[in-house]
Amino acid sequence: MNRIKVLLSLIIIFVLVLAIGGCSDQGDKETPSEQDNENNSSEVVETLTVYSGAGLRKPMDEIGQVFEEKYGIRIEYSYAGSAQNLSQIELLQEGDLYIPGASYYIEQAMEKGFISESKEVVYHIPVIGVPKGNPASIQGLDDLTNEGVRVVLGDERSAAIGKVAQKILKQKGILEEVEENVVSKDATVNEVMVHVTMEQADACIIWEDNVANVDEVEIIQIDEEFNDIKIIPIGMLTFTEKEEEAKMYLDFVSSKEGKEIFAKYGFRTIE
C-alpha cells in the first residue's frame, strides 16, 4: 500500500511540474519580445514626394536632409527634366510638390489645374560652359557658329535649359547656324554637363549654378541683351493628400534658410 501511495505521489508531482512548465511557456508566448516592443514604438515618418528639375539635385538633396532633421518628414525626389516631370504629374496625378527649372512650367501646371500655391525661390541664369582651358577659344554666342565647334544643348522638349537656349539663340539670330554644330541634345542639364566635363563638346549653354565649384568647366557670361534669365519657383500640387506638410516644405524652401542652401551651390537668391 505504501508503495502505491509513493507512486501516486510521484505521478501527482510530475503532473504538477508539467502544468507549471506549460503555464510558464504560455506566459512567455503572450509577452511581447523586445524586438516587438521596438517595432511597436518605432515612429512612423511622413513622406512627401517632390518632382524636381534634375539640375537642382545638389541643393534639393541638402534641403531634404535639413527639412527631415528639423520636422521629421522625409522627402522623396523625382529628378528629371522639367517637362518630363510635368508629364509625370499629369499622367499620375499624385505627389505633393513641383519645383522646375523655370516659371514657365509652373504656369503650365497652373493652367492644367495642378498647382494650388507657388512661391519664387532663386534665379536661374544661363551661361556658356566650356571645358577647362577653353580649347575652342569661345568668347561669346557668335563663336558657337564657328566651323568645327562641337556644341551640346539641352533638349527643348524636356529640359528647361534646352527651351531657354533656343530662345537665346533665336534672339541672337544664330539658331540655325548653331544647330549645324550641335553634336548632342540631352534630356537633362546633368547630361549636358557630362559631355563638357569629359571634353566631348567644346561649348554648351547651361545654368550658371550648374558649374559652380566645378573645376573642369569654365563659364562665359551671355550678353544681357540676349540672355533669358529665369526664376525657379516651387508649387504645391492640388492633389496632395498631405496639405499641411506640403505647405511646411514649400515655406521652408522659400525661406531664408532654404535660400541660403541654394546660395551655397551658386544660385542667386530672390530677396
Query: Residue 127, Cβ neighbours under 10 Å: how many?
Result: 20
Q: What share of the chain is helix, strand, coil (3-state, %, to 5)?
A: 50, 25, 30
Residues 132 and 217 in one domain: yes
Task: Note if the pTM is more than 0.75.
Answer: no
Residue 259 lies in a domain: yes
Kind and range of the H or E run holding 172 = helix 160-172
- Reading the chain (271 residues) residue by residue, the pLDDT tens digits are 455 444 445 455 454 444 444 444 444 444 444 444 444 333 547 999 999 999 899 999 999 999 999 999 999 999 999 999 999 999 999 999 999 999 999 999 999 999 999 999 999 999 999 999 999 999 999 999 999 999 999 999 988 899 999 999 999 999 999 999 999 999 998 899 999 999 999 999 999 988 888 899 999 999 999 999 999 999 999 999 999 999 999 999 999 999 999 999 999 999 8
- Number of domains forming the structure of the chain: 2
Residue 226 lies in a domain: no
Residues 179 and 151 in one domain: yes
Name the domain boundary from 199, 221, 243.
221
Residues 131 and 202 in one domain: yes
Residue 20 lies in a domain: no
- For residue 172, the domain's CATH number is 3.40.190.10
Which residue segment(s) compose the domain that 170 sits in? 126-221
Residues 117 and 130 in one domain: no
Residues 136 and 206 in one domain: yes
pLDDT score recorded for residue 43: 53
Condensed to tens digits (0 to 9), the pLDDT of residues 41-90 reads 335 479 999 999 998 999 999 999 999 999 999 999 999 999 999 999 99
Residue 162 lies in a domain: yes
Residue 246 lies in a domain: yes
CA of residue 127 relative to chain centroid, distance: 22
pLDDT score recorded for residue 41: 33
Residues 139 and 105 in one domain: no
Residues 212 and 143 in one domain: yes
Residue 39 lies in a domain: no
pLDDT score recorded for residue 9: 52
Name the domain boundary from 203, 221, 239.
221
pLDDT score recorded for residue 212: 82
Residue 234, judged by CB atoms within 10 A of its CB (0-12, 13-18, 19+), counts as buried
Residues 181 and 50 in one domain: no
